[in-house]
Amino acid sequence: MKFDMTYRVSYGDTDQMGVVYYANYLELFERGRTEMLRSAGLTYRDFEAAGYLLPVHEAHCRYHKSARYDDLLTIRSSVREMRGVRFTIASEILRDGELLAEGYVTLACVDAVHRKLVKLPEMLTSRCRQFMTPEES
Tens of pLDDT along the chain (137 residues)?
Answer: 899 999 999 988 888 888 887 788 999 999 999 999 999 999 999 999 999 999 999 999 999 999 999 999 999 999 999 999 999 999 999 999 999 999 999 999 999 999 999 999 999 999 999 999 776 44
Indicate the pTM of the whole model: 0.90
**Catalytic site includes residue 71:** no
Domain assignment of residue 74, yes or no: yes
Domain assignment of residue 137, yes or no: no
Cα separation values, 46 from 2, 102, 108, 126, Å:
22, 28, 16, 14
- Domain span holding position 76: 3-131
Domain assignment of residue 136, yes or no: no
Q: What are the residues facing 83 on neighbouring strands? A: 86
Q: How many domains does the chain have?
A: 1
Q: Ramachandran region of residue 70, left (φ > 0), alpha (ψ -120 to 50) or beta?
A: left
4, 15, 46, 96: the active-site residue: 15
CATH number at residue 121: 3.10.129.10
